[in-house]
Amino acid sequence: MCPERQVYLLDPQSLPPETIAVTFAKTSRSPQSFRDIAAELTEEKSAAFHEKWVVGYGHASVAEHAVLHIAIENISRLAIETLESCRLASYTEKSTRYQKWGPEDFYRPTELAGHPLEKRYLETCRALFTHYHQALPKVREVIAEQFPRCPDEDESMWERRIRSKYVDVCRFYLPAAALANVGVTINARALEHTLRKMLSHPLEEVRALGAEMKAVARASVPTLVKYAEAVSYLQTLPHLLAQEAPAISPEIGDWCRLIAWDCNAEEIALAACLFRYSHLSFDQARRAIQGRSPEQITALAQHVLGGLDRFTPPLRELEHVGFTFEVMLDQGGYLELKRHRMMTLSPQPLSTYLGYAIPRAIEAAGLLESYEDVMTFADQTYRELATWNPEVAAYVVPNAFHRRALIRLNFRQAWHLIALRSAPNAHFSLRRLAQRMAECIRGATPLLGQFLPIYPEETWQQIETHFFLRA
Ligand SMILES: Cc1cc2nc3c(=O)[nH]c(=O)nc-3n(C[C@H](O)[C@H](O)[C@H](O)COP(=O)(O)OP(=O)(O)OC[C@H]3O[C@@H](n4cnc5c(N)ncnc54)[C@H](O)[C@@H]3O)c2cc1C
């Protein structure tokens, strides 16, 4: 008789993560059910299995079945960057859009303890937080005037509606030292990779956090992260590459440039779609596309991209087409951008060398002069600290300062990012970027680009003019 289908959960309340991982791993050689395999395992047997197979023979994917939920509180935004640089994990963090910071909610780097610049660092962070707190009610007034209370709205509904709008502006003051909480869901393989990066990091905060995460994780996965250590390649290569770069002033060009994309992108994408649902070779599929009239090609693109709802991503075949952008946006915006995991993101070190943005509401609130003063103060502090330690100096850089990055993403990820970040509820920095990226993609690949799910009611130029005095 044909064996019956079985679907059930392995209960993480009764089975430790390492035992679940071994239970799944053993199905590759054992004809037993998962229940029976799990019943024969102990924590000791699971640890021995992982030592032999995962650590010894390098069958590392087994460790992906051991999943941890790690709660991390009061770490700097700078430390969060390294933590969240792992793409194969899930994060939720305190939002600069929906929460406010207390005056002392910033990290004091241990590297600075007793250093002649420690006082200056504290003064700068405190000044930024003081300005942030002074700006909140003033910018709120400006926003409240622009978005008056509706007759059917009570006070708390109205406050909720306008809150993110004024907090969105005031976040430009917050330095990278601002503390936040992050919830992380990660499997043991990805965690080991993250720990190796953290333990190799130049900042003491990141190394200490890595060591604490490792210790905490070992209570749940004693074997799988045991061998995570600092990696000398990760420690030395950044210095080596920094020295190789010519010592010249950085050029500041256009803030968003599409610098490379696949030639014949549209032909490749559509040929890949035919390939997937036929038995043709890729060359045959491509010739089939080449033989079509422009109207037929448009009709095919319409089939592929025209009928999607907002919960359905386009076919995976759209991933065969990629785009590389060089972008520069305020650090607050960059911190949101970096949360998109399905792309290759190469950020430059955080510094003040690329200047800072000024939201228009700052001027409307009568804060322009004091905003420029405190940004200049932060810039000077950064530069003084950077001559001693550029990594530590980055803690004082406010969200207003620009960050430059290279992004490589495929059409499918661009679709998702543009839909999410051009939406009216997205931050204006990201809306501006999403609109501009869509414009670039439409210019390079008009056939596919016309279907991008961009919010149609504004352009990046309008966003720039409306929200930025200087972008
Ligand atoms: C309105 C709004 C409010 C937000 N508020 C907060 C907040 O308060 N705090 C906060 O931390 N973040 C917040 N974010 C960021 C948000 O949680 C995402 O991290 C960010 O938008 C990246 O998008 P994404 O997760 O859809 O996917 P991306 O990382 O861009 O990945 C693309 C797609 O791949 C798939 N995918 C990628 N990784 C996984 C995975 N591990 N498991 C399953 N599917 C996956 C999903 O389909 C995803 O949509 C907010 C975003 C928005 C739009």
314 domain-assigned? no
- How far apart, in Å, do the first and last CA atoms of the chain sit? 70
**In terms of domains, do 5 and 128 share one?**
no
1 domain-assigned? yes
Given this model, what pLDDT does residue 107 score?
98
Given this model, what pLDDT does residue 97 score?
80
Sign of CA dihedral 354, 435, 83, 98: positive
pTM score of the predicted model: 0.95
127 domain-assigned? yes
Average pLDDT over the chain, rounded to an integer: 95
158 domain-assigned? yes
Q: pLDDT above 90 covers what percent of the chain?
A: 92
Please report, for the domain that includes residue 129, its CATH number. Answer: 3.30.1360.170
Given this model, what pLDDT does residue 100 score?
86
Q: Please indicate whether residue 90, judged by its CB atom, sits closer than 6 Å to ligand 1.
A: yes
**In terms of domains, do 239 and 368 share one?**
yes
Close Cβ partners of 392 (under 8 Å, ≥ 6 residues apart): 109, 111, 112, 203, 385
Predicted confidence band of residue 59 (pLDDT cuts 50, 70, 90): confident
Higher per-residue pLDDT: 211 or 153: 211
What CA–CA distance (Å, rounded) separates 385 from 21?
46
**What is the arithmetic mean of pLDDT over 391-405?**
98
Question: Which residue CA neighbors atom 7 of ligand 1 most closely?
Answer: 95
Q: Is the pLDDT of residue 51 over 90?
A: no
> Cα(86) to centroid of ligand 1, in Å?
14
Pocket test for ligand 1, best of 69, 92, 186 (most atoms within 8 A of CB): 92
Q: Please indicate whether residue 183, judged by its CB atom, sits closer than 6 Å to ligand 1.
A: no
Given this model, what pLDDT does residue 234 score?
97
99 domain-assigned? yes
- Ligand 1 atom with least separation from CA of 93: 11
**Helices 282-290 and 265-276, interaxial angle, to 10°?**
120
Least confident interval from 52-61, 87-96, 276-285: 52-61
**In terms of domains, do 240 and 340 share one?**
yes
**In terms of domains, do 59 and 72 share one?**
no
**What is the arithmetic mean of pLDDT over 219-241?**
95
**What is the arithmetic mean of pLDDT over 111-131?**
97
**In terms of domains, do 47 and 157 share one?**
no
- Ligand 1 atom with least separation from CA of 94: 9
**In terms of domains, do 392 and 270 share one?**
no
One-letter amino acid for residue 178 of the chain: A
Q: Please indicate whether residue 207, judged by its CB atom, sits closer than 6 Å to ligand 1.
A: no
Higher per-residue pLDDT: 225 or 59: 225
Helix (H, G, I), strand (E, B) or coil at 323: strand
Q: Please indicate whether residue 342, judged by its CB atom, sits closer than 6 Å to ligand 1.
A: yes
**In terms of domains, do 291 and 410 share one?**
no
Q: Is the pLDDT of residue 348 over 90?
A: yes
Predicted confidence band of residue 77 (pLDDT cuts 50, 70, 90): very high
Predicted confidence band of residue 350 (pLDDT cuts 50, 70, 90): very high
Predicted confidence band of residue 469 (pLDDT cuts 50, 70, 90): very high
In 86-153, where do the E strands start and end?
A: 89-93
CB 448 within 8 A of CB 321: yes
Given this model, what pLDDT does residue 58 score?
81
**In terms of domains, do 46 and 106 share one?**
no
Q: Please indicate whether residue 420, judged by its CB atom, sits closer than 6 Å to ligand 1.
A: yes
| Segment 410-432, tens digit of pLDDT | 999 999 999 999 999 999 999 99
315 domain-assigned? no
Angle ∠(344,346,351) on CA atoms, nearest 5:
150
Q: Is the pLDDT of residue 145 over 90?
A: yes
CB 176 within 8 A of CB 78: yes
294 domain-assigned? yes
Helix (H, G, I), strand (E, B) or coil at 174: coil
Hunting for tokens 């386009």 — which residue is that?
A: 314
Tally of domains in the chain: 3
Predicted confidence band of residue 49 (pLDDT cuts 50, 70, 90): confident
One-letter amino acid for residue 89 of the chain: A
Backbone angles phi, psi at 259, to 5 degrees: -100, -15
| Segment 164-182, tens digit of pLDDT | 899 999 999 999 999 999 9
| Segment 261-319, tens digit of pLDDT | 998 999 999 999 999 999 999 999 999 999 999 999 999 999 999 989 888 999 999 99
Q: Is the pLDDT of residue 52 over 90?
A: no
Of 23, 39, 63, the one marking the end of a domain is: 63
Q: Is the pLDDT of residue 458 over 90?
A: yes
**Helices 155-170 and 118-146, interaxial angle, to 10°?**
140
Domain range enclosing 273: 265-305
